[in-house]
Every structure is written in C-alpha cells, then in structure tokens.
Amino acid sequence: MASIVARNYAETLLALAQRNGGAPAVQAFLDAATELAGMLGDPKVKRFLETPRVAPAQKRDALRAALTGRAPELFVRFVELVVDKRRQTLLPQIVEAYGELVDRLMGRTRVQVTTAMAAEPALQDEIRRSLEQRLGMSVVPTFAVDPALIAGVVVRVGDQVMDGSVRRQSQELRRRMLAARLPHGAAAV
C-alpha cells in the first residue's frame, strides 16, 4: 500500500515538473530529489521526520530551510505538502519512484554491476555499452566489488539478475554432479 501511495506522489511530482518547465524542470527536480535522498539517509533526520513528538509544521519548516536555495521552489512546496499530509515517512520511496519514472521517461535504466575485482574505467565503459546493446536502452551502471565471485560479473536490472560469475558456474556444476545418477555398479568415491 505504501509503495502505491509513494508512486502516486512521484507521478504527481513528475507531472508537476513537466507542466512547469518540461525536461529542464524534470532534471532539476531529479537533482533536488537526489539531494533530499542524501539528507534522508542521515539517521538523525530520519528520526526527526518519523517522531510524532515533533509537530508537522516544525518538520515542514526544517525541510524548507534545508532545501531552499538547493532545490526549485515548486519542489520545496511539494515536499511541504507531503509533510502536511503526514506522509513524510514515504519521502525516500517517493524519491526512488520519481527517479524510476524519470529514467523510464528518458529511456534509460539503472543497473547494479558486481565484479570480483575493481573494474578499470575502460572495462566499465565496455560493460555499459554491452548492456545498452543487450537491453536496447541507455544504461546508468553502479559498480560494486565482491571478491567471493572469484571472476566474472553479476548484473542486476530491477528484479532480473544476470549471473556470469565463476562462483555461480561452479555451484551449478556441483549441483549437476550431485544430481547425476551413477550407472549401476559404479564404484563410489
């Protein structure tokens, strides 16, 4: 239910940006949403917004002060409205949903790429181009390192996972070997 409400707010924010400046406003709102997400990642800010002991007006005023000069006025007023409606706990989800809507509008997708070792910029670019070709859209990759992969790459696009790691391949080989039926009379090792 909360994700549906957050999505509705995000759609409203996108429509507001499109009506009040088009693509530049959509991008400015995305930049402001990214800034807001950074603020909301602070545990103190999160507690401040979630506690019922702080009046909504104080929360609204604090957010206005934090965003003024860093975000378009219309975006700030939107955030104030969310707080007035007592939906401030949904702000992280609204920001995330807005980013997804903007990505879809711009014909791009965000992907999480995990490699066994840090990928050099040239390899990162090659992976990005390969994914763009495979997915048929612009890709915004985020790279991470997981030495447990041994080698290869794991790509997460939304709920879809493309696992080309040596770890997965060795797990699959082990599974198939354990599931294989030995011919009758074969010696057990």
The DSSP 8-state label assigned to residue 87 in this structure reads -
Q: What pLDDT, on a 0 to 100 scale, did the predictor assign at position 169?
A: 65
Strand ranges of the sheet holding 138-145, from the earlier edge strand across to the other edge = 138-145, 108-115, 153-157, 160-163
Mean per-residue pLDDT of the chain: 87
CA separation for the pair 127, 121 (Å, rounded): 10
CA separation for the pair 171, 149 (Å, rounded): 11
Nearest to 82 by CA among 58, 109, 102, 56: 56
Q: What pLDDT, on a 0 to 100 scale, did the predictor assign at position 187?
A: 56
Q: What pLDDT, on a 0 to 100 scale, did the predictor assign at position 188?
A: 54
Return the number of other C-beta atoms located less than 10 Å from residue 115's C-beta: 21
More confident residue, 20 or 165: 20
Give the pLDDT mean for 165-172: 65
Q: How far is CA 153 from the centre of its chain?
A: 19
Q: What pLDDT, on a 0 to 100 scale, did the predictor assign at position 48?
A: 93
What is the percent of the chain where pLDDT is above 70?
A: 90
- Retrieve residue 67's tokens: 């965003």
Contacts of residues 9-14 at CB distance under 8 Å and 24 or more positions apart, as own/partner, are 9/82, 9/87, 9/90, 9/94, 9/97, 10/94, 10/95, 10/97, 10/98, 10/100, 10/101, 11/97, 11/101, 12/78, 13/75, 13/78, 13/94, 13/98, 14/98, 14/101, 14/102, 14/105
The DSSP 8-state label assigned to residue 42 in this structure reads S
- Given a cut of 90, whether residue 26 has pLDDT beyond it is yes
Which residues make up the CATH 1.10.520.20 domain(s) of the chain?
A: 2-104
pTM: 0.70
For the chain, how far is it from start to end, CA to CA, in angstroms? 55
Provide the CATH number for the domain formed by 2-104 in this structure.
1.10.520.20
User: pLDDT tens digits for 73-126?
Assistant: 999 999 999 999 999 999 999 999 999 999 989 888 888 988 888 889 998 999
Return the number of other C-beta atoms located less than 10 Å from residue 14's C-beta: 20
Helix (H, G, I), strand (E, B) or coil at 120: coil
Burial class (CB in 10 A: 0-12, 13-18, 19+), 10: buried
